[in-house]
């Protein structure tokens, strides 16, 4: 999907249009006429024009404006336009800026429960969305942000990401020893169990770090997003599956004083527009990846899957690391236990409904 000058192109299918229309209509019935003419400044941790990741924020903006007759919406600022990406959390918390948009797991160092935004070998996109909005997950996450005076809305779910871009083959778990890799979230801690040096790095710094040899490998996002960064031009292999992020959440963070200052109708519109964006992310991503993978291959990328024995050892280490994180932070432990139980609750249903 591309959104230009407030106009969405035809990539949203008919089913989504009906879904969106139903939510918008129900929210408008709450009384958009009560909205105070107010556009929320939202500072993003990603470039404003980044495919898919930024498009969901633009769709949320359009939905808000449609519901309110233009009175309510988002003023989006890309990464670094006004504040550095790494300062969004503290800026929203203090009220220096009213709102931010970022990957939830980006804030694991300051808010440990936010690591649940992407769980290695954990919930896939549909299960993660369901747990957050139906299984009580977002309420647990919110408790981690309450001391920071921040309201959290989960408005974007990213499909499983590739396992990463590498300049060498991964044939055994020993190949991670000494590897310098850009990786976000808990997955970095898992790789470091095997002697890697994996750590988070902002999107804007990755290409140069690869080019200059400061890192040997990277993961970032979906193929349709990675293409904009040119990782395929300076690495040889792309590996699957994305064991480290089978599903991940991006969030809109609003200063709680700003949120509480909104009318009930405005808050309802924000929550409804958030669901419109989340629904679109679940529908759009899967079919869009294969054509881009084929483009990568035509340009020389070697697409491979991690050996089963490598994935098995990563899974064992993941369980150890996640249990350790749960012991260190009780709220993260509550979230992790809750998510696992929620996913397991659908296990028999999924098995019974799996077609031979």
pLDDT in tens, 24-38: 444 443 433 333 458
Beta bridge partners of 166: 217, 237
Tokens of 216: 């040997």
| Residue 81 pLDDT level (bands cut at 50, 70, 90) | very high
Nearest to 1 by CA among 249, 294, 282, 297: 282
pLDDT of residue 203: 85
Q: What is the dihedral of CA 99, 103, 109, 114, to 10 degrees?
A: 90
Distance in angstroms (rounded) separating the CA atoms of residues 276 and 15:
12
Which has more pLDDT, 134 or 1? 134
pLDDT of residue 29: 38
Nearest to 166 by CA among 298, 293, 292, 305: 305
Distance in angstroms (rounded) separating the CA atoms of residues 230 and 203:
12
**What are the counts of helices (DSSP H) followed by strands (DSSP E) for the chain?**
13, 13
Residue 342 has pLDDT above 50, yes or no: yes
Q: What does the pLDDT look like over 266-293, one tens digit per residue?
A: 999 999 999 999 999 999 999 999 999 9
Of the chain, the percentage scoring pLDDT greater than 70 comes to: 90
Which whole-number Å values give the CA distances from 286 to 27, 160, 247, in the listed order? Answer: 28, 9, 12
Average pLDDT of the segment spanning 160-174? 97
Say which residues have a Cβ less than 8 Å from residue 93's Cβ, sequence separation at least 6.
Answer: 148, 149, 150, 255
Beta bridge partners of 152: 253
What SS3 state is found at 291? Answer: helix
* CATH fold of the domain at 3-159+247-288: D-Maltodextrin-Binding Protein; domain 2 (3.40.190)
Domain boundaries, the chain: 3-159+247-288, 164-245+303-329
Residue 20 has pLDDT above 80, yes or no: no
Say which residues have a Cβ less than 8 Å from residue 271's Cβ, sequence separation at least 6.
Answer: 153
User: How does DSSP assign 56-114, residue by residue?
Assistant: HHHHHHHHHHHHHTTSEEEEEE-TTSSS-GGGHHHHHHHTSSSEEEEEGGGGTTTSGGG
φ/ψ of 249, rounded to 5, equals -115, 135
- What single-letter DSSP state applies at residue 217? E
Q: What does the pLDDT look like over 88-138, one tens digit per residue?
A: 999 999 999 999 999 999 999 999 999 999 999 999 999 999 999 999 999
pLDDT of residue 259: 98
pLDDT of residue 70: 96
pLDDT of residue 202: 85
Residue 181 has pLDDT above 70, yes or no: yes
- What single-letter DSSP state applies at residue 159? P
Distance in angstroms (rounded) separating the CA atoms of residues 130 and 339:
10
Average pLDDT of the segment spanning 318-334? 97
Q: Report helix angle 125-133 to 330-345, nearest 10.
A: 120
Q: What does the pLDDT look like over 248-271, one tens digit per residue?
A: 999 999 999 999 999 999 999 999
Mean pLDDT across the chain, nearest whole number? 90
Is 3.40.190.10 the CATH classification of the domain at 164-245+303-329?
Answer: yes
């Amino acid at each position: 999907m591309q959104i230009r000058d407030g106009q969405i192109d035809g990539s949203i299918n008919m089913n989504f249009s009906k879904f969106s229309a139903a939510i918008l209509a129900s929210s408008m019935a709450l009384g958009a006429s009560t909205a105070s003419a107010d556009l929320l400044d939202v500072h993003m941790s990603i470039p404003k024009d980044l495919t898919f990741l930024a498009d969901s924020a633009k769709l949320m903006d359009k939905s808000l404006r449609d519901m309110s007759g233009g009175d309510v919406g988002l003023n989006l600022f890309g990464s670094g336009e006004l504040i550095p990406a790494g300062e969004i959390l503290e800026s929203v918390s203090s009220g220096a800026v009213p709102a931010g948009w970022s990957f939830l797991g980006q804030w694991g160092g300051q808010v440990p429960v936010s690591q649940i935004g992407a769980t290695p070998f954990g919930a896939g996109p549909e299960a993660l969305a369901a747990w957050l909005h139906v299984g009580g997950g977002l309420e647990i996450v919110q408790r981690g942000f309450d001391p920071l005076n921040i309201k959290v809305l989960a408005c974007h779910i990213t499909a499983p990401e590739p396992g990463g871009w590498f300049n060498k083959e991964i044939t055994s778990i020993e190949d991670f020893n000494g590897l310098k890799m850009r990786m976000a979230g808990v997955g970095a801690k898992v790789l470091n169990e095997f002697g890697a040096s994996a750590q988070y790095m902002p999107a804007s710094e990755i290409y140069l770090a690869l080019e200059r040899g400061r890192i040997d490998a990277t993961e970032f996002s979906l193929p349709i997003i990675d293409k904009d960064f040119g990782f395929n031009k300076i690495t040889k292999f792309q590996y699957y599956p994305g064991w480290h992020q089978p599903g991940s959440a991006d969030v809109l963070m609003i200063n709680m004083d700003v949120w509480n200052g909104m009318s009930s109708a405005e808050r309802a519109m924000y929550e409804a527009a958030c669901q419109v964006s989340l629904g679109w992310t679940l529908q759009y991503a899967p079919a869009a990846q294969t054509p881009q993978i084929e483009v990568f291959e035509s340009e020389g990328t070697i697409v491979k899957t991690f050996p089963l024995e490598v994935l098995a050892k990563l899974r064992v280490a993941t369980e150890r690391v996640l249990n350790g994180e749960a012991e260190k932070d009780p709220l993260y432990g509550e979230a992790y236990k809750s998510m696992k139980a929620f996913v397991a609750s659908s296990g028999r249903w999924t098995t019974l409904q799996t077609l031979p």
